[in-house]
Amino acid sequence: MSSGEFDGKVVIVTGAASGLGRATALAFAGAGAKLVVADIDQDALLATAASTTALGSETIAITTNVIDIASCAALIAGARAHFGRIDALCNIAGAFRFDHASNITPEVWDKIFAVNVRGPFFLIQSALPHLIESSGAIVNVASASAFLGHAYLTHYAASKAALVNLTKSLAMEFMHAPVRINAIAPGGINTAMTATPSIPDGIDFQLIGRYTPMRGSSEPEDLTDLVMLLAGPRGKAFHGACLNADRGITAG
Catalytic residue set: 156
Interstrand relation of 137-141 and 180-186 (parallel, antiparallel or unpaired): parallel
CB contact at 8 A, 11 and 35: yes
Neighbours of 57 (CB within 10 A): 22
Angstrom distances, CA of residue 122 to CA of 10, 89, 136, 214, 251: 19, 12, 17, 36, 32
Which strands, in side-by-side order, build the sheet including 88-91?
Answer: 59-63, 34-39, 10-14, 88-91, 137-141, 180-186, 242-245
d(CA 87, CA 20): 20
The DSSP call for residue 198 is: P
d(CA 189, CA 216): 9
Of the candidates 164, 170, 171, 156, the residue with the CA atom closest to the CA atom of residue 114: 156
Angstrom distances, CA of residue 35 to CA of 85, 147, 166: 11, 31, 25
CA 72, 193, 247: angle at the middle one, nearest 5? Answer: 105
User: 237 by DSSP, 3-state: which?
Assistant: coil
Of the candidates 91, 89, 28, 21, the residue with the CA atom closest to the CA atom of residue 57: 28
